[in-house]
Structure 1
Amino acid sequence: MNDGDGKVSEHKNKGLVTALEMGPIVLFFVAYLLLRDRVFVIGGTEYSGFILITAGFIPVLALSMLAIWRITGTLSRMQVATLVLVVVFGGLTVWFNDERFFKMKPTLIYLLFGGILLVGLLRGQSYLRMVMGELIPLDQAGWMILTRRFCAFFFGLALLNEVVWRTMSTDAWVNFKTFGLTAAIFVFFIAQGKLFREHGNEKE
C-alpha cells in the first residue's frame, strides 16, 4: 500500500471512530424523542421511556467501544472511565427505576476527569499531555496552561450539569446533554486559539 492509500485509510478510520463515539449519543436522543411520553409495564413494574432508553444505551455504548478497540487497538482512559460509569449508573437507574442516577453520571465523569488533572497539576505534571500529546503539539508551558484550563472547565461542567438536572425538566436536561455539552466543548477549544498559536511546537 502506498503512502496515499495509507493516509486515505487512516482518514476513514478516524471518521469511523468519530461516528462510533457520537453514534450512541445521537441514538439516545432520537430514542428519547420517540419514547419520552410512553410508559412500559415489564414484570408488573412500570418503566418510563427514559428508563428503557437508558437500558438500551448501555449495550449500545459497550458495542461502540468494542468496535473502536477493534479498529484502533486501544481505548483511552477517558473512554474506559466513561464506559464504566455509564454501566454503573445506567445499571442503577434501571435497577432502582430512578432516572436521577443516570442524570448524575456526567457530573461524576467531569469530577473524575477534573480531579485527575488536578492531582497531576499538584505534582507539577500535565496528565492531559499523556492523553492528547499526539493530537496537540504544545510546549511544556502550553500543556500546563491548557491542563489548568481543562481542569477548571471540567469542574464547571460538573456544576452546570447538577444545576440543570436538579432545576429543569428531563427534556431540558436531554437537550443540554446532547447539544449543550457538545457546544461547550467546541467553544472551549475555539477559545484556546491564542494558546495554540503562542505555545505551538511544530517540531513535535
Structure 2
Amino acid sequence: MTESSPAAARNSNIRQAVDFGALLAFMAAYAVNRFVRGLDGQEALVQATWVLVGASALALIVGYVVEKRLAPLPLITGGFALIFGVLTLVFHDPTLLKIKLTIQNGLLAVVLLGSLPLKKYPFKYLLGDAIKITDLGWRGLTLRYGLYFAAVAIVNEIVWRTQGDDTWVAFRGGLWIASAAFGIWQVFFIMKHLIKDDAEPDPVSPDTGL
C-alpha cells in the first residue's frame, strides 16, 4: 500500500461508520413507524425512506469532506439510494426501494463479470494506487465480487417477492453484516497476491450504502 495508507484506513473507517449509521437510522425509522405508530409495512417503508434520502445525502457529503473526492463505489451506492429513494417518495411505492438493491447489484455484477474476458479489471483502476497485487489477484478479486453482487441481486429478488416488509428490512440489516464479513474475508485473498506487502490492505466493502 502507499504511504498514505493510515489516512486511507481512517477515512475508510469513517465512511463505513457513516454508512452503517445511515442503515441503522433507516431501520430505526421503519421500526418506529411500524411498531410505535402502527403503520402497515408499506407505509412504514415509505416514511422511513425520508430518513434514507437524508442519510444518503449526508453520507455523500461526509465522504467528500473526508476524502476530498467522491469515491466511485460510495458514489454509485449513494446515488442509487438517492434516486430510488426519491422515486419511492414521489410514487409512494416502496417496491422501488426494494428493487434498487437488485438493479444496483445486478449492474455491478454485469460490469465486473463482463470485464473478465476483456482482462480489464475495474477494481485495478479504482484501487491500483492503494493495493499492489498481481493481475491474477485482480482477476480473482473481480470474479469474487462479481459473483457476490450477482448473489445479492438474486437473493434480494427472492426475499422481497416472497416475504413481508418486516423480513425484507431485517434482511437489509443482515446484508450489511454479510457485506462487511465478505470484505474482511477478501483481505486474506489480497494478502496472498500482494506485490508489496509493507502494510495490511483495507477490506473492500462491497456494499456501502442502502
Q: TM-score, normalised by structure 1?
A: 0.81
Counterpart check, 1:76 vs 2:71: yes
Q: Gapped runs of 5+ residues in structure 2?
A: 199-210
SS in 1 for 2:195: coil
1:172, distance to aligned residue in structure 2 (A): 0.9
* Alignment partner, residue 128 of structure 1: 123
State the alpha-carbon separation in 1 of the partners of residues 12 and 186 from structure 2: 23
1:149, distance to aligned residue in structure 2 (A): 1.6
* Alignment partner, residue 176 of structure 2: 182
1:39, distance to aligned residue in structure 2 (A): 6.2
Q: Deviations over 1:57-107 (max 9, x none)?
A: 112211221121012111222222222221221122112211111011111
State the alpha-carbon separation in 2 of the partners of residues 193 and 203 from structure 1: 12
Aligned length: 192
Amino acid at match of 1:63: L
C-alpha RMSD over aligned residues: 2.6
- Higher relative contact order by CA 8 Å / sep ≥ 6: 1 or 2? 2
Larger Rg: 1
State the alpha-carbon separation in 1 of the partners of residues 130 and 170 from structure 2: 29
Amino acid at match of 1:30: A
* Alignment partner, residue 14 of structure 2: 16
* Alignment partner, residue 31 of structure 1: 29
State the alpha-carbon separation in 2 of the partners of residues 108 and 8 from structure 1: 34
Query: Do the aligned residues in 2 keep the contact of 1:39 with 1:48 (CA within 8 Å)?
Result: no
State the alpha-carbon separation in 1 of the partners of residues 105 and 161 from structure 2: 17
1:120, distance to aligned residue in structure 2 (A): 2.1
Change (3 A) 1:7 1:203: closer
Q: Gapped runs of 5+ residues in structure 1?
A: 1-5, 41-46
State the alpha-carbon separation in 1 of the partners of residues 10 and 71 from structure 2: 19
Q: TM-score, normalised by structure 2?
A: 0.79
State the alpha-carbon separation in 1 of the partners of residues 8 and 139 from structure 2: 30
The counterpart of 1:60, out of the listed 42, 55, 70, is 55
Range with greater deviation from structure 2 (153-162 or 14-23):
14-23
Paired-residue identity, %: 27
Query: Do the aligned residues in 1 keep the contact of 2:30 with 2:47 (CA within 8 Å)?
Result: no
Query: Do the aligned residues in 1 keep the contact of 2:29 with 2:51 (CA within 8 Å)?
Result: no
State the alpha-carbon separation in 2 of the partners of residues 67 and 190 from structure 1: 23
